[in-house]
Structure 1
Amino acid sequence: MADSENRALSEEELQELVAASDSGARAPTGWVGLMIAGVALVWAVFQVLLASPISNYVLSGDLINNARQIHLAFAVFLAAMAYPLFKSSPRDHIPWYDWALGLGGAFLAMYGFFFYEKIVGNGGLADASDAYFALAGLIFLFIAAFRTLGPVMVGLAIVFLCYVFWGSSEVVPDQIRWAGASLRKAMSHMWITSEGVFGIALGVSTKFVFLFVLFGALLDKAGAGNYFIKMAFGALGHLRGGPAKAAVVGSAATGLISGSSIANVVTTGTFTIPLMKRVGFSAEKAGAVEVASSVNGQIMPPVMGAAAFLMVEYVGISYVEVITHAFLPAVISYIALVYIVHLEAVKTNMPTIGNKVVSMGRTIGGMFVFFAGFAALCYATQFPVGWIVSLFPAGSGLVLTLLLLVIYVGLVYLAAQTEDLEPDDPNAEVVELPDVAKIYKSGLYYLMPIIVLVYFLMIERKSPGLSAFWATMLLFGILLTQKTLKAMFRGELNAISRMREGVMDLIEGMIDGARNMIGIGLATATAGIIVGTVSLTGIGQVMADFVEFLSGGNLILMLIFVAILSLILGMGLPTTANYIVVSSLMVGVVVELGAQSGLVVPLIAVHLFVFYFGIMADVTPPVGLASFAAAAVSGGDAIRTGFIAFFYSLRTVALPFVFIFNTDLLLIDVTWYQGVIVFIVATVGILVFTAATMGWFLTKTKVWETVALLVVAFALFRPGFFMDQIQPPFDDIAPASFAQALADAEPGSQLRTVISGPDFDTLEVKDLTVPLIVPDADGADARMAALGLILVPEGDVQKLDEPSFGTELSDKLSSFDFYGDDPVAITSVQATAIQMPKELIFIPALLLLALVAFLQTGRARKLETQGATA
């Protein structure tokens, strides 16, 4: 009975599973199938032109200004064509109602485009007819989202929409009741303006996300996905637990360009999961390793499941800064997962595959050299480019293009010297490990588009859309020519005829990319309703009050409750929608309640905190979509797979708490050499934490050793906690001396002030911690004027008047009522104290680690001796 319930799906069934979730399970034949492919191709061409430098010349202003409407129209129409509405709906043809839903939904999505003059004439507000068309548009959007994303996303959006309409009802508790909105006001906000469906999220999907999803689809169509998996398996497959380690590295490489954890699971899992089972992993553990690896791909720059581009808009920092801050936690999380797999293999003494004998140290060293070399190559590219630009200022573009062409042809020539890579059969009787020394040449040219992408993003600092455009253009050339060039170099007679295969590969890749965008486009549009509700109703404040009530004002409990709520809100949602929802509802909670508790952290840290817990919903039962996909591959139990995967993901769960309190981990305000130290220490810390949670270091750990390892990990991640106990980080200053302290402070230093006063909405007195960066001005009065601070001293009480309009302090203190009976005043002032370097804490921590290692080494040798004697 259990075997039948937990049957592993066939390759065809797995591909249908991915198609059903990512690109649509319907595949009609004949002219209808060609029509769907044609519409997807037109969408891809439109998006490429929109991102190109010549968009203003080839597209009209109306098309560019209404790109979001066009983007959603394509998504809604293709959803109706490609995704069956019900399980019983036909897969081989399109029923009449789907034609109506597709065409009607596309028209309503374009309503703002068709009736632009009328809407502008009404001042951007909906009249009665507009409101009803907008309501119909929401209904059509919900139907399209239901068929592509499932009921969870739609149900959540409907709940928020109901709150917009009936949130003023007496049935609604006083704590969350609001004034309510008319149909015209609500529909103007949700559909006509850019506050709701057509807001920032859909704009990011239109400008950036499509190009990156298309880039990933084209790269995979070119054969890069299989190349990455082969390289990972060849490098790591011979080690103990090698297939699992290869799964981790392969999923990391796939996650760089993938926006779907489910597709990642199935793509790499169909090969790695059967091999993991062969070396001793249970079906559930094999699936869990793949789930943890694939979901981690969503936190790995540069795409981060498309969340990276949304963070740019929501946080207000550059794309380069976002991926810089997100990079280190993602990398050390993957390192820890490799270590988890290693410990699992060591604990159960798993066999190895093949007869290749290479030390773990040499393997890790080789991988480090490869990745460091690749990073160095990306960085060094700027120097020859700079020389060429200086030598040929007018024709540098042509020279660089020709040089890129020469390098590409040379790398394809290298690839032609080896056979094309074919996917391996993991169920074959004899599994042969790929020889990295022989196969690496076969796909070196796949790295070129990635280098171009990184160069434009990191060196030229171009926009993500333009960077992805140039990398995609290179992929166009690769897909069109790689088969022909290889055939020519191999002396094949049909070399020119292979060009047709290249054209078909390019067209199929563009169609795949467009179909993969259907769900993402609809997810960002539907999530826009939740964002619009937050901005229209102020529900974010209600969430803050709710979390404050649950936590009783305790900072750690507040963060735990925010993490749990983010996990719940993310259940059943694709990564993009997941991030939009949790950031819209939870970021403000952490910022507001954190400031009241004295926690002041950069906004990017808060966004990454809620994002990490949101994507954990893909792992966690009962709605862990990635866990169900892995169970379908492994034949294991989905719920058990989910729980084991969550256990493996504990290091990903711990990291957000770490970087909230220690922003060095996000490389914020650190120099390059400090960054190197942070990387080394954080890596050691995450490995120690992993060993503690796995109950195995050099041998099985005792209880006190586990506790010691956890203390070591905590000290390495947050040394400031222990140093603060030795030396206070701040000197207390009497509020009456605030002006003098401000005058004496060094420019650029920080004064932490606690400001107390009545809340503007509730009139209850609250505390808010506000860090003041001392401006470079002479005297207390000039510095207060630069800050926008208006001090009204009364004896020892430092009252504040409302800050100058337009200053940063005006925004921070906007929640206070400056005209109530109770004054707004500075109640606490702290200046940064001179403190010993917190890194000194590493010394006792490492000594404690050495003690545990010494004791475990002796015990491990004793066990080995006993085993040999037996």
Structure 2
Amino acid sequence: MTSSNNASEKKHVNESQDDQEQQSVLEKYDNESRFRVFDNQKIAWMVSLIAVGLSLYHLYTSYFGTPVTLQHRSLHVAVILMLVFLLYPALKKSRRNILQWYDAVFALMALSTTVYVFVEYEGIIQRGGIPNNYDLLFGGLLVLLVLEAARRVTGWGLPLLASLFLVYGLFGREIGGIFRHRGYEWDEIVGYMYQTTEGVYSTAIGVSATYIFLFILFGAFLQKSGMGQFFNDLALAIAGQTRGGPAKVSVIASGFLGSINGAAVANVVTTGSFTIPLMKKIGYKKDFAGAVEASASVGGQILPPIMGAAAFIMAEILGMPYSEIALAALLPALLFYLGVITQIHLRASKEGLKGISKENLPAIKQVMAERGHLLIPLMFLMYMLFFSGRTIIFSALLTIIVTVIVAMIRKTTRMSFRDIVEALENGARTAVGVAVACAAVGLIVGIASLTGFGLSLANGIITLGGESLLLTLMFTMVACIVLGMGLPSIPTYIITSTMAAPALIELGIEALVAHLFVFYFGIFANITPPVALASFAAAGISGGNQMRTGFVSMKLAVAGFIVPYLFVYNDSLLLTNTTFTEGVLVVTTSVIGVMMLGVAAEGFLMTKMPAVLRIVLAGGAIMLMTPNLFYDAAALLIISVCLGIQWILARRVGLNYLKAV
């Protein structure tokens, strides 16, 4: 009995240490995780109550409807800001077990901004954007609080960018060239940011206060039900025994979780703490193991059905049905993951790596019997989104309820009242980072709208590209990666869709295609050095070199960097405006092309591939992914020749080996 108790205690100690290590890595690369843990239980209860109350408010309004737009968004922002100042200390070195008096003051000041909107709503509307002194006071206060909150949660990058835009709004008349504008006074800017739905309370916050919050809350309930463990076990059961199995497990598990939670760094730490040690154990090198987890986690945000909630924002901005966007994004996302898995398999073949022995893996039947019912909420969500005809918000609400009910089926997944309360709290805490970033993005988008900066930037990109579509795409790609460095994926998309997508639309590219293009490259900023936070976090777990892990991540994601160019030139890859026969042909050629691109990137097939042959094969692969019958025929010929030469080389290597033996 004593030995059993000792074993149990040892297990809990190990789990606690693992959690601490995960949290340490997460805090190093993800500012959103550096929150306070209070010694004072009364303060802890108060913060929990505010978080739970915010979640309940959003659940309530998703069914019964929201107050008028300005009031609803102002309440969302104010409570989010309160949570920021209560949860996040001003400095990294600040004590995180106590609440500083000035942070309590900041929290109350944040609350006052929405109280004023509710009390003075009729006056604000009647003044028609012409602020009085009180409007300027509370509006200016809101702008400053948003900048400070963004600094605490996301780091310096976003608030500095927002501050530069505010300065640009004030002094744009002093700038020469295409970006010059008439300049605006401070009261005009504050009124625009606070009294309208074009600034802080713009579409970005509107989406945060509806779709994003509810789907983050849905993810929190799934996590409480044990969905993360289920995905890991299912991935192990499916792919663990195959060649290089742990790496394929990482891809499957991270893809599913990344689509739901939309947080690349958090996904890397959560899933990577389990998969990266397994990859290293069977022989994958540190940098490669970290890169697999980073690229798979980032890719989840382009994977339907949820795409980290980005699909819903895109639907809102473009005024398109969600189902069309999800369908368009499906094939490119699957091609991305096929490219990653191809390179993983080839690397395992090249280095003679095996999978995990069958006796150390869970059986699929056992996994499905214990937790398979957790797939029901996901299937229900897809039904609601694609076939029910109900709103996205109502679909999310019902899916959360279904998740709680379905989890009750088995004891291992059943949620207690405390679990439900914790899920409500965790959902609000997780939503803080995205909501604050959306509020700060509102300042940027507001100034861009007020001054016409977005159109000027689009014209500038087109001018630099010399009206060449390829050059314009390349400049747009660079702009998206730079804008996306160090930012959450959703604010990144909102910024790039405002700043960069118009350049492509000006050249005649369809809006959906342009938005998917900028979304992809904004996302891939997370694995693109020099600021590749997802890759850096993975390197922190694997013990590898950060920059090398970043570059290997880019190589694994090579299909993701090429496919957006291809669907710009021919949107058949998005399966839009195509017949069934054309769709089958596009899927077939794209699959073969991505696999051959993976071969060229890894430089191995049966034996090591010469550099020249890799380059030629890569060219043929790209041609094959371009939906054009002439290109397809030429590409198949090129690929056939390359594979024939490679087969001959492999045969010679085998014969030489036999002679040597």
TM-score, structure 2 as length reference: 0.93
Matches of 1:80 and 1:88 in 2, distance apart?
16
Matches of 1:554 and 1:466 in 2, distance apart?
44
Structure 2 residue 451 is the aligned partner of structure 1 residue 537: yes
Counterpart secondary structure, 2:425: helix
**Residue identity in the other structure for 1:627:** S
State percent identity of aligned pairs. Answer: 34
Matches of 1:550 and 1:336 in 2, distance apart?
32
Q: Which of these residues, 124, 128, 131, is aligned with residue 133 of structure 2? A: 128
Structure 2 residue 440 is the aligned partner of structure 1 residue 526: yes
Q: Note if contact 2:74-2:113 (Cα within 8 Å) is conserved in structure 1.
A: no
**Residue identity in the other structure for 1:697:** L
Partner of 1:28: 38
Partner of 1:625: 533
Q: Which of these residues, 516, 519, 523, is aligned with residue 608 of structure 1? A: 516
Matches of 2:120 and 2:75 in 1, distance apart?
14
Partner of 2:657: 867
Matches of 2:611 and 2:538 in 1, distance apart?
33
Q: Equivalences for 1:38-437 in 2 at 5 Å?
A: 38-52=49-63, 55-56=64-65, 61=67, 66-169=71-174, 172-354=175-357, 432-437=360-365
Distance 1:112 1:706, change over 3 A: same
Structure 2 residue 496 is the aligned partner of structure 1 residue 568: no
Matches of 2:606 and 2:206 in 1, distance apart?
51
Matches of 1:244 and 1:510 in 2, distance apart?
33
Partner of 1:851: 641
Structure 2 residue 267 is the aligned partner of structure 1 residue 477: no
Q: Which of these residues, 371, 381, 390, is aligned with residue 443 of structure 1? A: 371
Matches of 1:618 and 1:841 in 2, distance apart?
33
* CA distances 1:756-780 after superposition (whole Å, capped 9, x unpaired): xxxxxxxxxxxxxxxxxxxxxxxxx
Distance 1:840 1:551, change over 3 A: closer
Distance 1:860 1:437, change over 3 A: farther
Partner of 2:9: none
Counterpart secondary structure, 1:504: helix
Q: Which of the pair has the greater relative contact order for Cα pairs under 8 Å at 6+ separation?
A: 2
Distance 1:109 1:645, change over 3 A: farther
**Residue identity in the other structure for 1:702:** P
- Please tell me whether Structure 1 or Structure 2 has the larger radius of gyration of its CA atoms: 1
Matches of 1:145 and 1:704 in 2, distance apart?
48
Distance 1:21 1:221, change over 3 A: farther
Counterpart secondary structure, 1:66: helix
Q: Note if contact 1:73-1:110 (Cα within 8 Å) is conserved in structure 2.
A: no
How far apart are 1:49 and its partner, in Å? 1.0
Partner of 1:705: 613
How far apart are 1:612 and its partner, in Å? 0.9
How far apart are 1:478 and its partner, in Å? 3.5
How far apart are 1:701 and its partner, in Å? 2.2
Matches of 2:44 and 2:150 in 1, distance apart?
22
Matches of 1:237 and 1:619 in 2, distance apart?
25
* CA distances 1:191-229 after superposition (whole Å, capped 9, x unpaired): 110011101111111111111111111111100111111
Matches of 1:463 and 1:24 in 2, distance apart?
35
**Residue identity in the other structure for 1:443:** R
Distance 1:47 1:24, change over 3 A: farther
Counterpart secondary structure, 2:528: coil
**Residue identity in the other structure for 1:144:** A
Matches of 2:403 and 2:26 in 1, distance apart?
24
Q: Note if contact 2:52-2:421 (Cα within 8 Å) is conserved in structure 1.
A: yes
Counterpart secondary structure, 1:167: helix
Q: Which moved more, 1:851-860 or 1:280-289?
A: 851-860
Partner of 1:457: 385
**Residue identity in the other structure for 1:867:** Y
How far apart are 1:17 and its partner, in Å? 4.4
Q: Note if contact 1:618-1:624 (Cα within 8 Å) is conserved in structure 2.
A: yes
Matches of 1:262 and 1:520 in 2, distance apart?
13
Matches of 1:180 and 1:469 in 2, distance apart?
44
**Residue identity in the other structure for 2:214:** L
Partner of 1:834: none
Matches of 2:532 and 2:639 in 1, distance apart?
36
* CA distances 1:322-381 after superposition (whole Å, capped 9, x unpaired): 11111110111111101111111112222332157xxxxxxxxxxxxxxxxxxxxxxxxx
How far apart are 1:591 and its partner, in Å? 1.7
What stretches of structure 2 of length at least 5 have no aligned partner? Answer: 1-16
Q: Note if contact 1:105-1:140 (Cα within 8 Å) is conserved in structure 2.
A: yes
How far apart are 1:625 and its partner, in Å? 1.2
Distance 1:95 1:214, change over 3 A: same
Matches of 1:630 and 1:16 in 2, distance apart?
13
Partner of 1:505: 419
Matches of 2:79 and 2:281 in 1, distance apart?
45
Structure 2 residue 513 is the aligned partner of structure 1 residue 585: no
What stretches of structure 1 of length at least 5 have no aligned partner? Answer: 1-8, 357-431, 488-498, 595-599, 721-838
Distance 1:342 1:683, change over 3 A: same
Matches of 2:587 and 2:404 in 1, distance apart?
37
* CA distances 1:600-619 after superposition (whole Å, capped 9, x unpaired): 33211101111111112111
Higher helix proportion (structure 1 or 2): 2
Matches of 1:643 and 1:10 in 2, distance apart?
28
Matches of 1:239 and 1:50 in 2, distance apart?
47
How far apart are 1:233 and its partner, in Å? 1.5
**Residue identity in the other structure for 1:436:** I
Partner of 1:13: 21
Q: Equivalences for 1:628-777 in 2 at 5 Å?
A: 628-720=536-628
Partner of 2:395: 467
C-alpha RMSD of the superposition: 2.0
Q: Note if contact 2:35-2:96 (Cα within 8 Å) is conserved in structure 1.
A: yes
Matches of 2:138 and 2:373 in 1, distance apart?
50
Matches of 2:318 and 2:184 in 1, distance apart?
29
How far apart are 1:712 and its partner, in Å? 2.2
Counterpart secondary structure, 2:93: coil
Counterpart secondary structure, 2:500: helix
* CA distances 1:701-759 after superposition (whole Å, capped 9, x unpaired): 23443233223223222243xxxxxxxxxxxxxxxxxxxxxxxxxxxxxxxxxxxxxxx
Counterpart secondary structure, 1:138: helix
Q: Note if contact 2:219-2:260 (Cα within 8 Å) is conserved in structure 1.
A: yes
**Residue identity in the other structure for 1:153:** L
Q: Note if contact 2:129-2:192 (Cα within 8 Å) is conserved in structure 1.
A: no
Distance 1:110 1:613, change over 3 A: farther
Counterpart secondary structure, 1:253: helix
Q: Note if contact 2:23-2:33 (Cα within 8 Å) is conserved in structure 1.
A: no
Q: Note if contact 2:377-2:406 (Cα within 8 Å) is conserved in structure 1.
A: no
* CA distances 1:64-106 after superposition (whole Å, capped 9, x unpaired): 7622111111210111111122012221111101101112112
Matches of 1:120 and 1:851 in 2, distance apart?
70
Matches of 1:152 and 1:621 in 2, distance apart?
16
Q: Note if contact 2:385-2:392 (Cα within 8 Å) is conserved in structure 1.
A: yes
**Residue identity in the other structure for 2:45:** L
How far apart are 1:314 and its partner, in Å? 1.8
Matches of 2:386 and 2:115 in 1, distance apart?
36
Q: Note if contact 1:211-1:468 (Cα within 8 Å) is conserved in structure 2.
A: yes
Matches of 1:568 and 1:111 in 2, distance apart?
37
Counterpart secondary structure, 1:607: helix
